[in-house]
Structure 1
């Protein structure tokens, strides 16, 4: 198997891991069970992976982590909008 295909498949699977959480938050408009620290940590770490992917010119790393950053940014925006004050 081509290592780029393997990287893309692995990245796609791990990148969609937060989609069910985002969908649940958007449906229920409830973020009480989310950790802001976890979301911020994920965004930071994933952003560093994207940067690393650019430095190494590795498309699977760039694409999968960039998608995961976008999902987690959407989760962060949802957290800000739906949190109880």
Structure 2
């Protein structure tokens, strides 16, 4: 795959949108609470990310694949913390 300004633009966009989840992961972990996060939002988000990954692999697009692998990891951490901290358990 040739790297050009479009690929670079895609990688930068992917990094920025992926890093947007990091503060939520940190906040959820530190507060030991995910009460304000919607189950349906987290589940739909994870399904959407998986579909983006399938799409990225099907067109062999590195920026889409890389961004969504990391985003899926971060979203999965948030989902796992939501499960762990439900009902006020720590």
Give the TM-score normalised by structure 1: 0.95
Match of 1:74 among 74, 77, 82: 77
Computed over aligned residues only, the root mean square deviation of the Cα atoms, in angstroms, reads 1.1
Unmatched 5+ stretches in structure 1: none
Partners of 1:35 and 1:18 in 2: CA distance: 15
**Per the alignment, in what secondary structure is the counterpart of residue 83 of structure 2?**
helix
- Other-structure match for 1:29: 32
Aligned residues: 85
- Other-structure match for 1:5: 8
Partners of 1:22 and 1:59 in 2: CA distance: 24
**Per the alignment, in what secondary structure is the counterpart of residue 84 of structure 1?**
helix
What is the Cα deviation at residue 68 of structure 1? Answer: 0.4
Give the TM-score normalised by structure 2: 0.90
**Per the alignment, in what secondary structure is the counterpart of residue 40 of structure 2?**
helix
